[in-house]
């Protein structure tokens, strides 16, 4: 049994970041990760907003040493490839890094976790947290199970749940709320030999708009490309989204089929569904949630890792303050909860808008007037509604989308007429 200031459940980007930040503040941290890294994880496209956070964390030199592909823009494309719109991050309304990375998450997560260990965190892999108890007066106790089946107790002053979609605390405490409007599935794999764009556009993420949802095409370093389809679960009508499903949908989407014409699938076809949820509370007496454990909306704007990192930075500051004042009650963390909710809400509105056809049509024909295009670019870079200027412009974009629904002022996407009904 050990006693530390903080126990962290989960060694993904959110868990390793909060642990590192606390260790950098001289706090003792014990992190338990149930898998052995490197392990596969989806979520390969990062956002420019994360770059200053990587810098502060101390991992930027390792990220820029050539192992990950730089990403300078996001592009939106129609399924037939006829209309494309590129959003270079350098053109954003808010100044910041002009690029991010496309990453193999096995390698990326391992790098962050190794950095946590180098920073002084006690990292234990293949160790699953089974149970926890958080008591304001007594402290925190967890029970873990090691790879050989042994169970152990560990105690701490504070508990951070960074267990990703397992959302251990919200699930056990009955705090998890599914997002009914976003019951989506994803089916995806990796390919070798896919067609790439040239020069600075090589690392662009392509978001391909189709009637049944959208595709991602994410080029990774070397010759590997991640390709996936996301759509409403109800459109499956009992069909299993496996290998044959993916093959048929690729063949039916000219732009994706063309990019993959000479490609070979080099990984299993994976599926995942129903991932949009949030926890009713982001913190309680002696505990707090970071990353997907707290909320996850939808991957369309590649916000998952960025939201997890910024939550981790914020959480580390709050926990450090609580350890200094010895005040661990939920009331100490309501500011953290409010900030997390606001960030998640900005992107939830945008994601829900995205699933209306008019939104996609505006993204394909953005206006430069009133700095609207620049504001959308900053949102795509991960800046959220950080300034009044951003909030006003994003609200205006939503308004334009509603107006466009009634009276089209840019061309409709081919075949989308039924979606506007």
Ligand X SMILES: Cc1cc2nc3c(=O)[nH]c(=O)nc-3n(C[C@H](O)[C@H](O)[C@H](O)COP(=O)(O)OP(=O)(O)OC[C@H]3O[C@@H](n4cnc5c(N)ncnc54)[C@H](O)[C@@H]3O)c2cc1C
- Minimum distance of ligand X from residue 205's CB (angstroms): 7
Residue of 346, 3, 24 lying closest to 158 (CA atoms): 3
What is the distance between the alpha carbons of residues 80 and 252, in angstroms, rounded to a whole number? 9
- Minimum distance of ligand X from residue 371's CB (angstroms): 25
Pairing state of beta strands 151-161 and 287-289?
parallel
- Minimum distance of ligand X from residue 201's CB (angstroms): 17
Nearer to ligand X, 189 or 356 (CB): 189
- Minimum distance of ligand X from residue 155's CB (angstroms): 16
- Minimum distance of ligand X from residue 243's CB (angstroms): 17
**Residue 277, both tokens:** 């949820």
- Minimum distance of ligand X from residue 162's CB (angstroms): 5
Nearer to ligand X, 218 or 400 (CB): 218
SS3 content of the chain, % helix, strand, coil (to 5): 40, 25, 35
Nearer to ligand X, 62 or 396 (CB): 62
Nearer to ligand X, 302 or 377 (CB): 302
What is the distance between the alpha carbons of residues 111 and 101, in angstroms, rounded to a whole number? 14
Nearer to ligand X, 186 or 362 (CB): 186
What is the distance between the alpha carbons of residues 305 and 1, in angstroms, rounded to a whole number? 32
417 close to 395: Cβ distance less than 8 angstroms: no
Query: What Rg do the C-alpha atoms of the chain give, in angstroms?
Result: 22
Nearer to ligand X, 101 or 393 (CB): 101
What is the distance between the alpha carbons of residues 40 and 4, in angstroms, rounded to a whole number? 30
- Minimum distance of ligand X from residue 168's CB (angstroms): 5
The binding site for ligand X (CB under 6 A) comprises: 9-15, 32-35, 41-46, 128-129, 162-166, 168, 186, 272, 275, 291-293, 296, 299, 302, 304-306, 308
Distances in whole angstroms, Cα of residue 418 to Cα of each of 119, 181, 208, 211: 55, 19, 18, 9
- Minimum distance of ligand X from residue 43's CB (angstroms): 2
Question: How many angstroms from the chain centroid is the CA of residue 95?
Answer: 22
- What is 329-398 written as a DSSP string? SGGGGHHHHHHHHHHHHHHHHHHHHHTSHHHHHHHHS---GGGHHHHHHHHHTT-TT-SHHHHHHHHHHH
Nearer to ligand X, 32 or 333 (CB): 32
Nearer to ligand X, 129 or 315 (CB): 129
Nearer to ligand X, 184 or 385 (CB): 184
- Beta carbons within 10 angstroms of residue 338's beta carbon: 11
Look at the alpha carbons of 300, 353, 92, 87 in this order and tell me if their dihedral is positive or negative. Answer: positive
What is the distance between the alpha carbons of residues 126 and 368, in angstroms, rounded to a whole number? 51
- Minimum distance of ligand X from residue 113's CB (angstroms): 9
**Residue 150, both tokens:** 């042994």
């Amino acid at each position: 049994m050990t006693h530390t200031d903080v126990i962290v459940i989960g060694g993904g980007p959110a868990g390793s970041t909060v642990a590192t930040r606390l260790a950098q503040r001289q706090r003792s941290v014990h992190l338990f990760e149930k898998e052995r890294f490197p392990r596969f994880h989806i979520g390969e496209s990062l956002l420019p907003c994360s770059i200053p956070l990587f810098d502060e964390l101390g991992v930027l030199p390792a990220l820029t040493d050539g192992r990950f592909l730089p990403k300078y823009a996001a592009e939106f494309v129609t399924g037939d490839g006829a209309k494309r719109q590129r959003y270079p991050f350098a053109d954003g309304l808010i100044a910041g890094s002009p690029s991010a990375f496309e990453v193999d998450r096995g390698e990326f997560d391992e790098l962050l976790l190794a950095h946590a260990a180098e920073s002084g965190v006690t990292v234990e892999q293949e160790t699953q947290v089974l149970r926890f108890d958080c008591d304001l007066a007594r402290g925190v106790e967890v029970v873990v199970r090691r790879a050989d089946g042994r169970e152990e107790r560990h105690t701490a002053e504070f508990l951070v749940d960074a267990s990703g979609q397992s959302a251990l605390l919200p699930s056990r405490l009955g705090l998890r709320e599914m997002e009914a409007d976003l019951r989506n599935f994803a089916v995806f794999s990796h390919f070798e030999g896919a067609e790439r764009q040239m020069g600075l556009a090589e690392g662009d993420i392509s978001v391909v708009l189709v009637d049944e949802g959208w595709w991602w095409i994410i080029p990774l370093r070397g010759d590997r490309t991640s390709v996936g389809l996301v759509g409403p679960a109800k459109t499956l009508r009992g069909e299993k989204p496996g290998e044959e499903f993916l093959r048929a949908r690729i063949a039916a989407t000219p732009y994706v089929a063309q990019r993959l014409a000479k490609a070979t699938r080099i990984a299993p076809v994976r599926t995942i569904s129903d991932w949009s949820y949030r926890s009713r509370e982001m913190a309680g007496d002696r505990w707090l949630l970071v990353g997907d454990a707290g909320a996850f909306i939808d991957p369309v704007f590649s916000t998952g890792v960025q939201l997890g990192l910024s939550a981790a930075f914020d959480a580390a500051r709050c926990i450090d303050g609580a350890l200094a004042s010895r005040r661990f009650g939920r009331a100490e963390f309501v500011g953290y909860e409010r900030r997390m909710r606001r960030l998640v809400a900005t992107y939830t509105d945008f994601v829900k808008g995205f699933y209306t056809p008019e939104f996609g049509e505006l993204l394909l024909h953005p206006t430069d007037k009133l700095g609207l295009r620049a504001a959308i670019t900053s949102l795509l870079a991960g800046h959220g509604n950080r300034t009044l200027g951003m909030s006003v412009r994003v609200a205006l974009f939503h308004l334009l989308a509603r107006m466009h629904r009634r009276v089209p002022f840019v061309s409709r996407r081919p075949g989308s007429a039924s979606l506007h009904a």
